């Protein structure tokens, strides 16, 4: 998995409030870090677990074994993580990630395809060509977690109309999002459009070399 969705109201969840009351921001940071570590190993399959030695967990979560045992047990008791301890190894499973998967991995899973590299590719099973700004607004709301205010902003509505006029496909935007996430940049529609233009330019250059 290249990334997972992080909703802006995560901190308002009862579990997170309790976690922070018990362990402070260190607890919250470790929770997010575990999600990142497990997500980094996920592909289009539903495998959402990670097994490491205690020494590896200590290094990755910046804590001593006893502290981490209490943290994992806390999360396990509340059903957030499912843990198994075998000797010097701890396995943690994060079912929540199945609902937070990046849309590209979910689409690939539905299509029965392998997770691709960042190189531009197309898939007839996941590719869509919209004919209205409203369709793009709905897609960005569902797949990119855009808020209602964001999709209805004048700038994004203009961008959606531009995508319709220039026949931008969802696959191209998926590729742009992958690139943006890998580069650590934002996924605003205007930024994604610039990346789509780069993707198209690259395709043209590759076609000329054939």
pTM of the model: 0.50
Provide φ and ψ at 21, rounded to 5°: -65, -35
Quote the Cα angle for 178-183-186, to 5°.
75
**Number of alpha helices (DSSP H) and beta strands (DSSP E) in the chain:** 9, 3
pLDDT (tens digit per residue) in 73-82: 999 988 888 8
User: In the chain, pLDDT over 70 holds for what percent of residues?
Assistant: 79
What whole-number distance in Å separates Cα of residue 118 and Cα of residue 82? 32
What's the pLDDT band for 97 if we cut at 50, 70, 90? confident
Confidence tier at 11 by pLDDT (50, 70, 90): confident
pLDDT tens profile 189-205: 888 889 999 988 888 88
Q: Decide if 70 contacts 61 (C-beta within 8 A).
A: no
Structure tokens of 49? 């677990």
Per-residue pLDDT tens for 19-70? 999 999 999 999 999 998 988 877 655 678 899 999 999 999 999 999 999 9
The class of domain 10-99 in CATH terms is mainly alpha
For the cut 80, the answer to whether the pLDDT of residue 171 exceeds it is: yes
Question: Where does CATH 1.10.10.10 sit in the chain?
Answer: 10-99
Write down the pLDDT at residue 111.
43
């Amino acid at each position: 998995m290249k990334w997972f969705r992080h909703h802006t109201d995560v901190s308002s969840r009862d579990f997170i409030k309790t976690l922070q009351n018990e362990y402070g921001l260190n607890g919250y940071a470790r929770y997010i870090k575990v999600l990142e570590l497990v997500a980094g190993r996920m592909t289009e399959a539903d495998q959402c677990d990670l097994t490491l030695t205690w020494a590896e967990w200590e290094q990755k979560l910046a804590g001593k074994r006893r502290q981490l045992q209490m943290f994992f047990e806390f999360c396990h008791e509340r059903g957030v993580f499912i843990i198994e301890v075998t000797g010097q190894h701890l396995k943690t499973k994060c079912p929540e990630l199945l609902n937070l998967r990046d849309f590209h991995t979910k689409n690939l899973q539905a299509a029965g395809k392998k997770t691709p590299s960042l190189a531009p590719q197309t898939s007839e099973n996941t590719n869509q060509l919209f004919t209205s700004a409203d369709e793009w607004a709905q897609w960005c709301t569902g797949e990119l977690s855009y808020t209602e205010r964001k999709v209805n902003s004048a700038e994004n509505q203009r961008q959606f109309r531009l995508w319709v006029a220039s026949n931008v496909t969802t696959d191209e935007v998926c590729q742009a999002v992958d690139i943006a996430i890998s580069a650590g940049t934002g996924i605003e529609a205007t930024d994604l459009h610039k990346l789509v233009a780069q993707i198209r330019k690259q395709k043209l250059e590759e076609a000329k070399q054939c």
